[in-house]
Structure formats: C-alpha cells, structure tokens
Amino acid sequence: MDRKFHLAVAQVGGIQPDEDRSTVVRRLVDLLDDAHRQAASFVVFPELTLTTFFPRYWAEDRDDMHSFFETEMPSAEVKSLFDRAAELEIGFYLGYAELTADGRRYNTSILVDSSGAVVGKYRKIHLPGHAERIEGLRAQHLEKRYFEVGDLGFGVFDVDGVKFGMCLCNDRRWPEVYRVLALQGADVVVLGYNTPTEVPGWREEPHAKMETHLLSLRAGAYQNAVWVAAAGKSGDEDGAHMIGGSAIVAPSGEVLAKARTEDDEVVVAEVDLDYSQSYRESVFNFEAHRRPEHYSLIVDRVGRGEPLPVSFD
C-alpha cells in the first residue's frame, strides 16, 4: 500500500442464530466488493464476524458451544472470502472464535494481506462480562466463560508495507492497548466489536454507549498519533440490540467516516500516513516527551489503591 490508501470498515448487521456460515460469508463478500468499488485496499470486519454474538447464551457444558468456533482459518466456508479478497488484491482484518487443536478457546482476529496470506494474529486480552449464569437477564455476556485471556500480547504486523496493530472490542476502551501498539510503530489500529445496548451490570444510556465508543476510538487515535478503524456487528440479533457507529478516526481524533445505519454497510476514508507524522514530531513526540520512569504504577498495580507517598519540602 502507498502512504495514501483507502481504508474501509465493513459493518455487519445482525446475524441470527440460525444463519449458517455460508450465508454470512456471502454477505461479507458483498461488502468486500462494495469496498473495492470504493477503491479500498484494506477492509476491517467485526469481532466474531461469522456467527451471532453467542456469548449471550448460557451453556453449562462449554463444549456445547463448539459449533460457533473455527478449528481452521480459512475454513471451507470462509475460503471464498479469502479467494475473493486475493482476486481483488485487498487485505483484511477478520474476527472469529478460535478453537485450537489442543482445545483452547480464544476470541481471535487475524490480518490477511492482499495475496491472501495470514500475516498476523491477535487473541483478545480484555474479556468483559462474566463466567457464570446471571438469572433474569434477556441476554448474558459470557465472554469470561467461553474464552481464555489471549496469549499473544498486542502485536504489530506489516501488511503490504503498512504497520497494523490489532485489538478487539472491549480492548478499545483501555488506553494501554493503543500505547503498546504505538510504541511498536503501529500506523493503523484496527478492531472489530459487538457492543450490546444492554450489558449486565453496565448502566449507561443508549446515547452514552455510542458516545463512549467513539470517545475511546478518538482518544486512542489522537493520543498515539495513529489511525483507528473499527467495524461493528450491529442492529438486532435474536432480540438483542447492538450499537452501530463503525468508524474511521484520524490521528487528529476526528471521525472521518461513520456508518449511518445498523445494517451491512461499508464506510471508506482516505488514510494519509504522513498526516500522523506532524503529531509524532510535535505534541506526541514520544522520544522527547514521554517519562516512563514515572509510569511504573501502570504495570505494578492492577486495581485502584492507596496514594503513593510523595516527599516534598
């Protein structure tokens, strides 16, 4: 990719529990074609793109959820997406549920380059929700039950000459994620999400849900001089509503493109990697201004605690 290229986020409308992988993949290929018509050379798909957001369902036996997981990538059904993307010479990011050969379960994303090769993998680290059934809910949020904490760290990968960092959904709310990616030279941070309007134990007005989603993307982009592109699965899934708002944010923190609907929709923006440079050489010149000797609490302490002693005259 050149220093300037068109980046697309492919928002995916609700996927119902009875919708099979082939039907979903056909929708993704349509979105890819649409992105190609809009000159995109990279497309971001959502988190757990291939199925309904299954952590809303309770299963006593975790193995009962295996039908929602992929044991290989590309699987037979997903291969047509890989083939079409390679034909169009488009790279992409795709989120899916991964079941490894030794039985481990992860909420995973991959980066695929324009030749169809998988060049990066991420396994979600900030897993929200709960591990046990909560009675009386219309929808559970059982990511802590069905997934292990990712074991690959926050990696940055070269995709067709551009450095991409990945994260997934809830990760976007944590500032450490963007900083760890930016410190590795990420130019673009890509992520997929599923954000239900109703989340157990998380009381927030629907308008605030959209606000905090965009705020997180904008702060991450601005404070780290990176581009951020986020694709959601949105709208109604089996009676549960998820926010839209798939968006592309510039290093200025400005939202350059945002989905208008809660359906399948492609939004595109032109990325100019040189635009990050002015931020990297001024206000967020890390080498000149960061003071990591004063940040050790960030890694030494997980939760809130007592103030540290400060001696002064």
Instruction: Report the catalytic residues.
Output: 47, 124, 169
Does residue 199 belong to the site contacting ligand CDT (CB under 6 A)? Answer: yes
Does residue 109 belong to the site contacting ligand CDT (CB under 6 A)? Answer: no
Does residue 193 belong to the site contacting ligand CDT (CB under 6 A)? Answer: yes
Measure the CA–CA gap between 297 and 305, rounded to whole angstroms.
Answer: 10
Q: Which of residues 8-47 bind ligand CDT (CB under 6 A)?
A: 47
Q: Record the tokens describing residue 56, joined without a space.
A: 């809303």
E strand map for 141-254: 156-159, 162-168, 188-193, 227-237, 240-242, 247-249
Residue with Cβ nearer ligand CDT (128 or 150) = 128
Mark the segment that binds ligand CDT (CB under 6 A) among 94-102, 151-159, 176-184, 189-197: 189-197
Task: Write down the least CB distance from residue 77 to ligand CDT, Å.
Answer: 23
Residue with Cβ nearer ligand CDT (39 or 208) = 208
Residue with Cβ nearer ligand CDT (109 or 195) = 195
238: left (phi over 0), alpha (psi -120 to 50) or beta: left
Measure the CA–CA gap between 53 and 56, rounded to whole angstroms.
Answer: 6
Cα-only R_g, the chain: 19
Measure the CA–CA gap between 146 and 53, rounded to whole angstroms.
Answer: 12
Mark the segment that binds ligand CDT (CB under 6 A) among 188-196, 222-230, 262-270, 299-307: 188-196
Maximum CA extent, the chain:
70
- Give the number of C-alpha atoms closer than 13 A to the C-alpha of residue 138, restricted to the C-beta side: 9
Task: Write down the least CB distance from residue 47 to ligand CDT, Å.
Answer: 6
Residue with Cβ nearer ligand CDT (89 or 211) = 211
Q: Describe the chain by its helix, strand, coil percentages, rounded to 5.
A: 30, 30, 45
Q: Which of residues 128-187 bind ligand CDT (CB under 6 A)?
A: 128-129, 141, 169-170, 173
Binding site for ligand CDT (CB under 6 A): 47, 128-129, 141, 169-170, 173, 193-195, 199, 202
